[in-house]
């Protein structure tokens, strides 16, 4: 994880993570400030958040903005079987499982990786 402007991440507090379309990495935000950029991060106690007013702005203007984030605690623990998750504001109003397209709102564990400038989100299956 690369620090941004010399800021440090407090791992005892939750972070918000989103895919930065300009830098093609994940931006990590804490207390409203970008604290780091990374091409790989794992989180626990995860909540998927989509701002519906900001999503509607994307649909209206056809210009993307930061309106979908993943919140949780930074982790180095590896999980077992993982399932793909995706988000597309033009197709869904929430994050969804890749195969079934069922919505997902929270989970215990998530791996987020950027490979060849393409983001991948994998979650531990939720009950």
Give the separation between CA 60 and CA 22, rounded to whole angstroms: 21
User: pTM for this structure?
Assistant: 0.90
- What is the mean predicted confidence (pLDDT) over 59-87? 91
Return the closest-CA partner of residue 113 out of 43, 40, 18.
40
Which pLDDT belongs to residue 98?
Answer: 94
How far does the chain reach from its first CA to its final CA, in angstroms?
30
SS3 55: helix
**Residue ranges of the alpha helices (H) in the chain?**
52-61
Q: Give strand pairing partners of 60.
A: none
Widest Cα–Cα separation across the chain: 41
Q: What is the CA radius of gyration of the chain?
A: 14
Residue 68 has pLDDT above 80, yes or no: yes
Q: Per-residue pLDDT tens for 6-37?
A: 999 999 999 999 999 999 999 999 999 999 99
Residue 118 is part of which domain span? 2-124
The count of domains in the chain is: 1
Dig out the tokens for 125 from the structure.
């299956």
């Amino acid at each position: 994880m690369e620090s941004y402007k010399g800021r440090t991440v407090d791992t005892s507090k939750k972070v918000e993570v989103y895919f930065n379309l300009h830098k093609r990495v994940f931006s990590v935000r804490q207390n409203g400030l970008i604290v780091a950029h990374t091409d790989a991060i794992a989180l626990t106690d995860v909540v998927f958040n989509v701002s519906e007013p900001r999503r509607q702005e994307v649909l209206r203007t056809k210009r993307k903005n930061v309106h979908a984030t993943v919140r949780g605690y930074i982790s180095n623990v590896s999980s077992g079987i993982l399932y793909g998750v995706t988000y597309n504001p033009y197709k869904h109003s929430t994050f969804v499982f890749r195969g079934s397209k069922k919505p997902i709102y929270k989970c215990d564990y998530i791996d987020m990786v950027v490979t060849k400038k393409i983001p991948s989100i994998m979650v531990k299956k939720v009950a």
